[in-house]
Amino acid sequence: MMRAMDKTRVLLFASVVAAAMVFGGVLGATVLARSTVTPASAALAAASPSPTSNEAATHETGETAAQETAENNGTAHLGGPGSGPSNETAAHEATESAAREAAEKT
């Protein structure tokens, strides 16, 4: 009797897993069929947009040619970590250990 009950549980579990896989496959195919994302549109979306955020005349007058080139080709690092003023002042260096200074150099 116990053996038949174990087989029933295994068959029931396997049936539930198979039904879930079929449902997931149908759902996935439906979503993909209605999706407008294609490999070509994904490649276009991955291309970097043209820079326009700081192209105002007042900004451009204070900018070097190298800065403008970096902005246009996407290599400018404006904002974020490391964009603030340098901490290589004498007052800062006096409070810093040799190990910390070495870590900053790498």
Q: What is the DSSP string of the chain?
A: -HHHHHHHHHHHHHHHHHHHHHHHHHHHHHHHHH----HHHHHHHHSPPPP-TT--HHHHHT--HHHHHHHHHT----SSTT-S----SHHHHHT--HHHHHHHH-
Mean of the per-residue pLDDT values for the chain?
A: 76
Q: Report the distance separating Cα 45 and Cα 38, nearest Å.
A: 10
For the whole model, what pTM was predicted? Answer: 0.31
Nearest to 88 by CA among 77, 99, 97, 101: 101
- pLDDT tens readout for residues 62-100: 788 888 887 777 777 666 665 566 667 778 778 888 888
Encode pLDDT of 48-59 as tens digits.
555 556 677 777
Percent residues over pLDDT 70 in the chain: 68
Which two structure tokens, joined as six digits, stand for 83? 């964009």
